[in-house]
Chains A and B, each alone.
Chain A
Amino acid sequence: MKNLLKKDGVQSFVASLICILLGLLIGYIVLLFINPTGAGAAILEVIKNFFHYSKPSLQLKNFGNTLVKTAPLLMCSLSVLFCYKVGLFNIGAAGQYVAGACAGIYCALKLGWGWLPCLIAAVVCGAVFGVAVGLLKAYRNVNEVISGIMLNWIGLYLANMLLSSVKEVASPYTLHIKTEAAKALLPSLGLDKLFNGNQYITLAIPLSVLLAVAISVILNKTKFGYELKATGLNRNAAKYCGMAEKRNIIVSLAIGGALAGLGGALLYLTDYEQWLCTGSSVPGMGFNGIAAAFLGGLNPIGTIFSSYFIQHITSGGAFVDKTMYCSQISDLISSIIIYLCGFVLFIKYAMNKVIASRENKAAAAVKSDDVPAKDADETKGGEA
């Protein structure tokens, strides 16, 4: 048990669990303050999400809907994660997501392209937004958080402007891709049958999971990934070792942008949602991606689960009793969780300290009936 807790992966998992539980607890307390009578039921609705329905067929369909939105979220969190490994905080993922969504919708509705070229266009546009941040960071020393935020807003207004040309006459939303540009609709690969004929289930879901695995392999098993991580740990040391640290920064942001951009297209090309051309706030998907990335312990595989969890509670927020609470309660919970993720280092530190002090005590107990030389070794192990 003790040895298990010493492993970094296990510690990350435990720390994330603590964050989730504390986040839900604080959310529950907030609900209690707003209206004490329905707080328990509301927090249960958030946790239950699609189990809200009693019929298995409806459950399955709504589970599918949650998955449809998990795919873009996973892409955004992979984008954040990938850049974070290179020491960059890609808050611009939200803007890259918008750029990708815009490119996908525009190419589908205006230019009448098929789904694959649309996806490629989204990837390219997302990457362009990422590269802009990367160039500014590498050559002009601009803080990537601030330039990212600026590009988020530029992207939003740009998307609103471009997509106004393909919007419905009577509403501020863009046209339905299903009816207007059916060939841009992502292929379902027959997966929709698994989810009780949920038409929005497409290749997006398996693709995003595959990409998570691919990112994991790139980061952990390739020379390229090693160089990127080295640049993240110490830019100057990487440069000293002959790595092109500026190129690494730009490339990582390009990949991050491409991932987030693809995420945007993966959602909108299922026709699950239409773009709102008068929107005045940047879609929250990119910001939730930050939550998912940190909650997943900055591990691509962990991110798959944390993305699902964040989307699960976000979708669950829609089921709370609207006469008492609003659906933003799940935004509140996920932002509390991100806040708590800031304490992950501290939680790990505390865990290590407890383990170390226990081992020291055990070592001291052994000391009385053991040879001194071995004891010295053990204390050292405990400290390390």
Chain B
Amino acid sequence: MLLLIQYTLIFASVLILVALGGCISEHSGVINLGLEGIMVMGAMGGALMLRGLPSTTSPFVIVLLTLCAAILVGVVYSLLLAVACISFKADQTIVGTAVNMLGVAAATVIVKALNTAANPDDVSSAVQYAGTKKAFLLKIGGFEFNWFMLIALIALACVYVLLYKTRFGLRLMACGEHPQAAASVGVNVFKMRYAGVLISGALGGLGGICYILAGTSEWRFENGVAGFGFLALAVMIFGQWKPQRIALAALLFGFFRALSNVYFGFDWLVNANIPGAVYNMMPYIISLLVLAFTSKRSRAPKAEGIPYDKGMR
């Protein structure tokens, strides 16, 4: 039971971080379908940093440097999406898809190249970080507290304040609702949209490193992040683009994702004799159902997905 709560919280943290990223980006008017790729790249940055650091480094420094690496790589990588979609008015769906595919391919190529350079016989795409990973964990009784749970909570509070209580946030949201109106009162729509996408890159990168650290002590980058970027988008839609509701939605999705990891710990679930694949499918099936019931009256930012055109009314 404790294990289920632990996994629910950690997967919910991933979804909160990434969904908040998607939320900010969409509020600025750009649909960030590339979150999945951004997660992979952020995860790669963080994982390489974790592997590079000696395990004697103090835990605090490890955590800080890893987070910085993940954020930095996420932000830089999200620039690809930002430049194409904002400055060049490219189709956001195509570019987002390309960013996803590129993320997995680039991370695999980079990690393999580094592995092979270090040891010519090693052609795997795995990064091990068993020693330094402990810095993120804190044992409280049988419960393994992960610093990311706190980070997700802080991010949630920050995004809430940022969106609703600051001038920047309100301007950002104006750019997603009616960019021409925002521009008419002197808001630089391009800058705001860049800010939105880059912040989502930072949060996506954080979510990525959080996701791979939730699992074992190594990660194979060929596998990507198993559709979590898109699950996060489903969470965001279910949460109606509002941070507090996103958090609740993330808990629900996190629960079903956690179930696939720990269902064999429950006798009655094992006795039900449901194949493991069904539990693996659960989060995706639930999200389809949830989307079917919530998308009809969705309150999406009105101008999302439409490149900003000064001359349009």
Contacts and interface: CB of A to CB of B under 8 A. Distances in A.
A336 interface: yes
Contact of A281 (B105, B224, B296): B224
A346 B91 CA distance: 10
B105 A332 contact: yes
Contacts of A322: 123
B108 A154 contact: no
Contacts of A287: 97, 101
A146 B237 contact: yes
Category for how many chain A residues contact B: 35 or more
A127 interface: no
B109 A328 contact: yes
Contacts, number: 152
A291 B100 CA distance: 12
Contacts of A143: 233, 237, 291, 295
Contacts of B101: 287, 291, 331, 334-335, 338
Nearest to B88: A346
B135 interface: no
A140 B295 contact: yes
A34 B111 CA distance: 10
Contacts of A34: 109, 113, 117
A154 B280 CA distance: 8
Contacts of A325: 109, 113
A338 B98 contact: yes
Contact of B97 (A142, A161, A290, A329): A290
A66 interface: no
Nearest to B229: A149
Given A329-B109, A342-B98, A346-B88, A150 B234 contact: yes
B186 interface: no
Interface string A57-71: 000000000000000
A157 interface: yes
A150 B230 contact: yes
A280 interface: yes
A343 interface: yes
Central interface residue in B90, B226, B285, by most chain A CB within 10 Å: B90
A311 interface: no
Contacts of A334: 101
A145 B33 contact: yes
B106 interface: yes
Interface in B272-303: 275, 277-278, 280-281, 284-285, 287-288, 291-293, 295-296, 298
B62 interface: no
A345 interface: yes
A322 to B, nearest CB: 6
| Pairs A-B, 5 closest by C-beta atoms | A342-B90, A339-B98, A335-B101, A161-B277, A338-B98
26 contacts: A34-B113, A89-B93, A143-B233, A146-B233, A146-B291, A147-B288, A149-B230, A150-B231, A150-B288, A154-B281, A157-B280, A158-B281, A161-B275, A281-B226, A291-B101, A326-B112, A328-B109, A331-B105, A332-B102, A336-B102, A338-B101, A339-B80, A339-B95, A339-B98, A339-B102, A345-B91
